[in-house]
Amino acid sequence: MTANEQNATPDLVIVGAGIFGLTIAQQAVEKLGVNVTIIDIRDHIGGNAYSYMDPETGAEIHKYGAHLFHTSNSRVWEYVNRFTKFTDYVHRVYATHDGEVFPLPINLGTINQFFRANYTPAQAKALIDEQAGELAGTDPANLNDQGISLIGRPLYEAFIKNYTAKQWQTDPSELPASIIKRLPVRFNYNNRYFKDTWEGLPADGYTAWLERMIDDPRITVKLETDFFDETQPLNKRALLEAGVPVVYTGPVDRYFDYDLGELKWRTVDFKEVRYDEGDHFGCAVMNFSDADVPYTRAIEFKNFNPERAAEQNPNKTVVWEEYSRFANRDDEPYYPINTDEDKALYAQYKAKAADEPNVVFGGRLGTYAYYDMDQVFNQALISYEKQVEPLLKK
């Protein structure tokens, strides 16, 4: 990462040093040779993908929760491999229910363990179809009914119902059915979490990867800089008046000073727990499916990088317990609520954004959407070609 300060008047200002903004910056410099300044209100680059090393345990901490790279997009895979090598990590999730650990997503191993059976794939499918038929002929009135109609009451109530209630802080019977379109059930013993062609973690960490993307003297990074603070020169009003092209990746409603109302988000809180042992859970992510455990899951960071065992403390480990709740304006927004009202409100903001001169809106906050990391890279590459480069060539 460069702290180069030579650009008094940049050709492009990017608001937000997350994946979307960094990709746009890298492409603009590589393709057109322009001078780019990135500003971010945080004290680090990388957005929610930022990570740092924990000195006590030797674990790489994902500051904003577990970030796992996976993709089936060959263009994205080729692009990211320019800046990092990937480990052979394969994500597998487990869930604790009623004092017992089960593999997720729900698969033949989960089903046979849960029902204390030895079903074949065909037998297991017939069982789930029978149980899911409990509400046959009815239109699911809420998430609870939708879950039962997808995988049957026993598995839904064991692994989905209470987990979802903790995620949303709302009983599933009061949530709309539209929140879940499908619940995957695998009728084999494959418990690999993702189905994508490529998967892994950056070999020397997320921050090192993202720093390489913008390691260019034509890119200036200004941290702890607020786009809306008119006491600093790269503020919204000054840039718009000067006609400097801007890529904005912050909350779209904040850009317009919430003049149409606030879009709603869920946020995540973390509680750190340290253990005097080398490995507490034996896996990277453990879900907790029961209502009597207040958090949704626990992340044990050392288990993302077993290849670093020699660099890690064999007698210490760190775990983050994850709690989900509705976000207030000052919280970190993680997941859009996406009610019909929110979608309608975003449509109005999107129309206003389309009329904003010299500004391109992007990223999950700028477009009120949840994306996996590979989707953010893909959106940024497309946005650069279709929106940013034409803007810079004007």
Tokens describing residue 160: 């989905």
- How far is residue 77's CA from residue 99's CA, in Å, rounded to a whole number? 40
Q: Give the side-chain half-sphere CA count within 13 A for 356.
A: 22
Q: Which of 94, 186, 255, 300 is catalytic?
A: 186
Query: CA-to-CA distance for 130 and 125, rounded, in angstroms?
Result: 8
257 among known catalytic residues: no
- Nearest in space to 76 (alpha carbons), one of 387, 381, 371: 381
Q: Which of 43, 116, 139, 182 is catalytic?
A: 182
Query: Which one of 279, 342, 356, 372 is the catalytic residue?
Result: 372
Note whether 106 and 186 are within 8 A (CB): yes
Active site residue 372: yes
Q: How many CB atoms lie within 10 A of CB 292?
A: 6
Which one from 89, 218, 255, 297 is the annotated catalytic residue?
297
Q: Is 254 a catalytic residue?
A: no
Distance from C-alpha of 249 to C-alpha of 260, rounded to nearest angstrom: 19
- Smallest Cα–Cα separation from 157: which of 120, 114, 123? 114
Contacts of 154 (CB under 8 A, 6+ apart): 114, 115, 131
Q: Where are the beta strands (DSSP E) in 143-233?
A: 198-200, 219-223
Please say if 75 is a catalytic residue: no
Given 60, 145, 199, 322, the catalytic residue: 322
φ, ψ dihedrals at 378, nearest 5°: -65, -45
Q: Which residues contact 113 (CB under 8 A, 6 or more apart)?
A: 100, 102
Q: Rounded to an integer, what distance in angstroms lies between the CA atom of residue 278 and that of residue 312?
A: 9
Determine whether 153 is an active site residue.
Answer: no
> Alpha-carbon distance 323 to 165, whole Å?
11
1, two tokens = 């990462």
Cα–Cα distance, 258 to 79 (Å, whole number): 36
Q: Which of 54, 79, 218, 266 is catalytic?
A: 266
Beta-bridge partners for 60: 53
One-letter amino acid of 300: E
Q: What amino acid positions are annotated as catalytic residues? A: 182, 186, 266, 297, 322, 370, 372
